[in-house]
Amino acid sequence: MKIANIVSTFNIDVSDDFNVVTSLENIIEGLPTLIVGWDFVKKNYPQYDIIDRKLDNNIRWTFKPIEKRDLFQEDLYNFINDTYKSVLNKINYFFIDPFITNRKQLIKIIRKIKGSDTKISYLHDNMIYIFFDNIILGINLEMLSFIGLKPDKIISKIKSSNGIFLEKDLIFIEYKDKVDMLDGKIRFLPVLYSIKHG
């Protein structure tokens, strides 16, 4: 799945999450787009703003590195960062607190998880994050243990259900830079995984 377009006539090293193309004809419509090159913008967008560098709500532009390297690097970083944050702003996060969640609510949550076609779970230290239907559920395994539930059984049930189960050592290194860019919010790792593999 692609989350944004970058239009550039030279090679740009970015994640596969971005649709990097050489012309506007090859962009994926509706996705945020960054055009690289002042010469192209001057020719095709005569109303451009050299300070703001926004052409409309969904299209930005920046200089080529040979035109202004520092602005190119800053704009590219900000575009990537803003794009990920925009995607993740559409995801709702809920922390399941076993001390205030009653049995009826837990059953409803479990049914909702089971009813989802796509589930990605991620175990990190004592937290498990389950991503489905634009929702992330965070569950603290120590808290479950404290109220008498067995975390090993819960992990086993999640692993055996239809879906993808990710563990820290196997996947965290691959997504560390992206998680750092998102203020270290580990809970978004299953979403990042789904973008890359979705």
Give 46-71 pLDDT, tens digit per residue. 888 889 899 998 999 999 999 999 99
Contact between 130 and 190 (Cβ < 8 Å): yes
Contacts with 87 (C-beta within 8 Å, 6 or more apart), sequence order: 3, 191, 195
The overall average pLDDT reported for the chain is 89
Q: What is the pTM of this model?
A: 0.83
Which of residues 133 and 111 earns the better pLDDT score?
133
From residue 16, how far is each of 5, 105, 119, 155 by CA, in Å?
11, 39, 22, 31
Q: Provide the CB-side half-sphere exposure for 134 (13 A, CA).
A: 6
Give 134-178 pLDDT, tens digit per residue. 999 999 988 877 777 788 888 888 887 778 999 876 688 888 888
Q: What are the sequence ranges of the domains in the chain?
A: 4-88, 92-197
Residue tagged 């059953």 (tokens) = 107
Residue 19 pLDDT more than 90?
yes
